[in-house]
Amino acid sequence: MAIVISACMINNPGVCKDYRIALSADIDENSCIMFAPPHFGQWGEEHPNWRIVRWRCSSASEKDL
């Protein structure tokens, strides 16, 4: 499973991008949903010019973004 974060630039909201955070292989979708929120704070600190607009969990087999 992976968390897919869709984020847009704060100073240019028309520029958006998807980011993938890989999770352990043994995590299912329900666990992904529960474990995702703590990752947002860390991701935000590492990407201060971006704002998360939505997120989802996807299978690890989904093509990389």
- Answer positive or negative: Cα dihedral of 47, 11, 35, 2: negative
Q: What is the pTM of this model?
A: 0.83
- The confidence score (pLDDT) of residue 64 equals 47
- The confidence score (pLDDT) of residue 60 equals 65
pLDDT at 61 over 70: no
Q: Tell me how far apart the terminal alpha carbons of the chain are, to the nearest angstrom.
A: 14
- At 4-45, the pLDDT tens digits run 999 999 999 999 999 999 988 888 999 999 989 999 999 999
- The confidence score (pLDDT) of residue 49 equals 97
| Residue 49 C-beta-side C-alpha neighbours within 13 Å | 6
- Could you count the other beta carbons within 10 Å of the beta carbon of residue 8? 16
